[in-house]
Amino acid sequence: MNWIKGLQRTIDYMEEHITEPIDYKKIACEMNVSEFYFQRIFTMICGFTPSEYIRNRRLTLAGSELLSTDNKVIDIALKYGYDTPEGFARAFTRFHGVTPNIVRKGDVSIKSFVPLRVSISLKGGSSMNYRIVEKEAFKVLERVEVHQIITEENKYEISDFWDRAKADGTIQILVDSLADDEKNIIGICYGDSYGNSKTFEYSIAAKCKENCIVPKGYRINEIPKRTWAVFECVGKMPDSIQETWHKIVTEFFPTADYEPTCEIDIEDYPDGDVTADDYKSYIWVTVKKK
């Protein structure tokens, strides 16, 4: 896939349909990926979700229209996707810092969130440590949560899941179940594996022993045989994982001989001080030859 052209097509589509109900499935088709992976890629590259982008663009255009036309506030609110003047006013004030009525009176500054344009910039060379691995199927014991794809909150829900897992004994249960040759706890994002376009499964898991006892609220799942690109992340968490993900989607896949299968990815966390500058973790992504 041509990541740069594909991402620009998605942005162009959103701009062309900015006053219409957003069909994320159609947007994702512009990049030839699923809704789930479009959301992930867009957020990793741009630093905000597609829904945040659309909201900020709509509020920018609404502010401009309030200043430059005599259109009624309710008509502008409806045009940019708000069902009530009250909901529009709350969102408008959070974004611009002033109410629509104050803007309508004029002589006030408002914010502008300009359309994105994707470009390639040459920077100092950077290196990524990675390897390609053919891995046989393996079984994990996991605790699973289901998350909505099209929400801004899922940026925080997974880190909250990890915090709860540490506090409620989940991590210790998984450590106790580890296979003899394993030491690491992993996070598994199932992405497209279950064919649901609105939600995705994320688990905190461990490669488990044979005949592992399955506690209530957990499950055994088999990760299929796949080809994986494995990336090394060095530094304190979560910064190092986030920085490596950004490099993967902006530097590695646009130029590599491999592309993601958009199926499963794993974050692999060895035991250690996750706040240390030399802490090493790993990202595993299922891939195929281009």
Give the per-residue pLDDT at 119: 67
Give the whole-angstrom CA distance, residue 112 versus residue 115: 10
Instruction: Say yes or no to pLDDT of 9 above 60.
Output: yes
- Can you give the pTM of this predicted structure? 0.82
Predicted confidence band at 48 (pLDDT cuts at 50, 70, 90)?
confident
238: preceding bond cis by omega (within 30 degrees): yes
Please determine, for residue 101, whether its predicted confidence score (pLDDT) is greater than 70.
yes
Please choose, from the candidates 269, 53, 51, the residue with its C-alpha nearest in 3D space to the C-alpha of residue 159. Answer: 269
SS3 label, residue 74: helix
- State whether residue 32 is helix, strand or coil: coil
The partner residues of 207 in beta bridges, in order of sequence, read 140
Q: How confident is the model at residue 192 (pLDDT cuts 50, 70, 90)?
A: low
- The answer to whether residues 96 and 59 touch, using CB atoms and an 8 Å cutoff, is yes
Q: Which residue has the higher pLDDT, 33 or 277?
A: 277
For the stretch 228-244, pLDDT in tens is: 999 999 999 888 988 89
What's the half-sphere exposure (Cβ side, CA atoms, 13 Å) at 162? Answer: 14
Sorted by sequence, the CB contacts under 8 Å of residue 270 that are 6+ apart come out as 183, 184, 280, 281
Average pLDDT of 105-133?
78
Q: What local confidence, expressed as pLDDT, does residue 208 receive?
A: 93
- DSSP output for 243-279: HHHHHIIIIIHHHSSEEEEEEEEEEEE-SS-TTSTT-
pLDDT interval class at 124 (50, 70, 90): very low
Tell me what pLDDT residue 152 has: 58
Residue 196's pLDDT band (cuts 50, 70, 90): low
Q: What is the pLDDT of residues 256-279, one digit of tens each?
A: 899 888 889 999 999 889 899 999
What is the arithmetic mean of pLDDT over 129-148? 93
pLDDT of residue 288: 93
| Nearest-angstrom CA–CA distance, 46 and 134 | 31
Answer whether residue 92 shows pLDDT above 80: yes
Residues 57-86, mean pLDDT to the nearest whole number: 95
